[in-house]
A and B are shown apart, each in its own frame.
Chain A
Amino acid sequence: MKDSPAALSRRAVLGGSAALCAAPAIHASANAQTAPTGKTQMIATTLKVNGKDVRLTLDPRTTLLDALREHLHLTGTKKGCDHGQCGACTVIVEGRRINSCLTLALMHDGDDITTIEGLGTPDKMHPMQRAFVTHDGFQCGYCTPGQICSAVAVLDEIEAGIPSHVTEDLDKVAFSDAEVRERMSGNICRCAAYPNIVAAIRDVAEGEKA
């Protein structure tokens, strides 16, 4: 990841807008409404994004999604519905997948956040990224970063023995296509690449077992 051009440009971006805090402040004040006190409260926070500490000073309204996209310019994570209904904004926080649109960045002070950029790069893909390419697990690709982050976490959840709605015996959690379909229902794909998404996830699950 260190040598890829993507990482370089991201570092440049981080240097400009996050570490120095200048750009976020301008950005926030540009579209902020005035708080009841007459002034928008700005609060400093540190997030650990893809292994790196980044310091931001934010209008409390900033969702984790907007912090990632608009402040850190990590635009791999997508804004779909912005209401937790589509899953395009899925990221992994402290090892668990969540909708980054329905949480405030300030609520994650100190948290470890992994986005699609942190999973792998075009040169060094995560096995799940590679499997999505191999199986054509997308068409337009807009939902894909969320699908992949979700899929990585789904395999961990099954591994950890967390049951789902379709688990027959709550104490016997095992991989199956039905489990994948149920667990991935929070990620909508408008192109309906679902069969290929399931195939990609199955591939990685079988690879992990082998």
Chain B
Amino acid sequence: MKAFTYERATSPAKAAAAAVANPGARFIAGGTNLLDLMKLQIETPTHLIDVNRLDLDTVRETSDGGLRIGALVRNTDLAAHKKVRRDYAVLSRALLSGASGQLRNKATTAGNLLQRTRCPYFYDTTKPCNKRRPGTGCAALAGFNRNMAILGTSADCIATHPSDMAVAMRLLDATVETVAADGSSRAIPIADFHRLPGTTPDIETALAPGELVTAVVLPRPIGGSHVYRKVRDRASYAFAVISVAAIFGKDSNARFAFGGLAHKPWRTEAADAAAAAGANAVADAALAGAKTTEHNRFKTDLVRRTLAQVYAQQEIRA
């Protein structure tokens, strides 16, 4: 690890101000992603702002019946929260499918949203990577890209976003609340929070430099039957190869979001609109424009089969 200086933030606005004043600074929450990357010198902050003592660790009901989840709420606590289990079960399920018990005890809501890709070439500092070092090229394009994205990719990066939680948040139409250095706050719809790689894969979110995530807000519950189906290389403690989050409502209405396919959780209006026509129609709509490689071509079939399974499971439940 490269040397850095350390401070404990005393308020969200002060944390943001400290980050802006210190261009080499990073916030540290659970640290489970950041410290991993710092040990490999993929991240080399010169200053860490510890946000763990900020008063952002509660889940509260909003005035319109939704939930405001503090940025520091740990993944374990969010998954186990009574209201989340009952009204947003897809979020509980997504969280519980991720990482390990130890990591979920530490990982925070904001840190999970902001975790970085698991592209093996991003991790291998001997290889070119536009995300790690802009302008050096992308080793994954012609490399072993089995786990890479097939939707929304660019000629500069085909990485996926690895979070399970974010897929459920996208399905639930969450909003990300932030505070900036000047104390001003704003709300970013989750659909606009994560970016596609384009020509700047190093810029992953809509956050401005130093902007601190303070909460994630869920709209009031929509009911329905919640499913999170994660397909991975081993039964536990592995990132998704692909995942399907779904909520089935009344009258064949349903909505879908996918993990493991793109640089952000993938959700399209066309896929939701195809719900009544069945799994294959949803897959066709969701996969429109997919660009696969020799190694990750299998992902399109995997999406179809997983959707078929999700539908079959639904019929059994109904």
Contacts and interface: CB of A to CB of B under 8 A. Distances in A.
Interface string A99-111: 1001110110000
Contacts of A163: 79-80, 85, 92, 96
Contacts of A33: 2-3
Given A90-B102, A102-B106, A182-B236, A36 B1 contact: no
A32 B1 CA distance: 10
Interface string B43-78: 000101010100000000000000000000000100
Interface in B20-50: 24, 28, 30-32, 35-36, 39, 46, 48, 50
Contacts of A196: none
Contact of B100 (A41, A83, A157, A186): A186
A36 B106 CA distance: 29
A98 interface: yes
Interface residues of A, number: 47
Interface string B84-111: 0110010011001101111101100000
B237 interface: yes
Contacts of B103: 84, 98-99, 102, 186
Nearest to A82: B39
A176 interface: no
A207 B101 CA distance: 23
B289 to A, nearest CB: 32
B48 A60 contact: yes
Main secondary structure of the interface of B (DSSP, over half): mixed
Nearest to A153: B101
Nearest to A188: B237
Contacts of A34: 3
A30 interface: no
B5 interface: yes
B3 A87 contact: no
B89 A170 contact: yes
Contacts of A107: 28, 31, 50, 52
Given A98-B105, A104-B31, 17 more contacts: A33-B2, A35-B4, A36-B3, A36-B46, A63-B35, A87-B100, A99-B32, A102-B31, A103-B32, A106-B6, A163-B85, A163-B96, A164-B96, A170-B93, A171-B86, A185-B100, A186-B103
The 8 closest A-B pairs by CB, nearest first: A186-B100, A185-B236, A60-B6, A35-B3, A185-B237, A170-B85, A96-B105, A162-B80
